[in-house]
Structure 1
């Protein structure tokens, strides 16, 4: 008799987010850059972290 094959997965996630409104003075790229910076900080802080961009004036 064949033994069942068991797969055990461990998934971790870090998120960076920014909230704001894009307009001609603040293009969407600024929002993306702010979220990217927050993601970098979440990764630096360890696994399973969520960081919201601070001082975003979008």
Structure 2
């Protein structure tokens, strides 16, 4: 199993905990943790070369 898949599983677990949580603070905490695990998974995919780096666009001056 890839490291990014493990991170995504952790994110899914956090989302399940958020759904079962009692109270808004706990829900928010688990939701933020899920977001963090998802971000780590995306970064790991990039580090593994599965996702290309972000391309930047150069703005061109328009001659009007």
TM bucket by the smaller chain?
Answer: 0.3 to 0.5
Higher strand share: 1
TM-score, structure 1 length as denominator?
0.43
TM-score, structure 2 length as denominator?
0.40
